[in-house]
Amino acid sequence: MSTIRSSRRAFIKTTMGGVAAAATCGSAGAAKAEDYKPQDQKKLTQVAARYQDHPKENESCGSCPYFVFPKSCVLVDGEISATGWCPIYTTFSPLDRGAHA
């Protein structure tokens, strides 16, 4: 019976360590758009992203968290206007969308 108890203890210690590590991964500070760039992935072309150099109603690249001042985007390649727009536009932080810090 003591071998069962010790293996239970070992299991609980291992599991709790993993839970503690996972809990600390979710803490996020104030991050910049550049911090969200996926590693080893290429940006979309402006055509693929359906980018336009004018806003759509009250939505524009300058208010999107993926926009990088003065004229680029984390997700779309090329020169991007702050008054431009594409369907990737969002007001949510990438961390709110499941990204990791």
Phi and psi torsions of 72, nearest 5°: -150, 175
Asked if 98 contacts 90 with a C-beta cutoff of 8 angstroms, the reply is no
- Split into its structural domains, the chain has a count of 1
C-alpha distances (whole Å) from 75 to each of 2, 10, 26, 32 are 56, 44, 23, 14
pLDDT tens digits, 19-75: 555 555 554 555 666 676 656 678 999 999 999 999 999 999 999 999 999 999 999
Taking alpha carbons only, the member of 33, 41, 45 closest to residue 97 is: 33
- CATH code at position 74: 4.10.490.10
Structural domain contains residue 39? yes
Q: Containing domain of residue 58, as a range?
A: 30-97
Residue owning tokens 């991007």: 80
**Is this prediction's pTM over 0.85?**
no
Structural domain contains residue 64? yes
Q: Which amino acid would we find at residue 18?
A: G
pLDDT of residue 12: 63
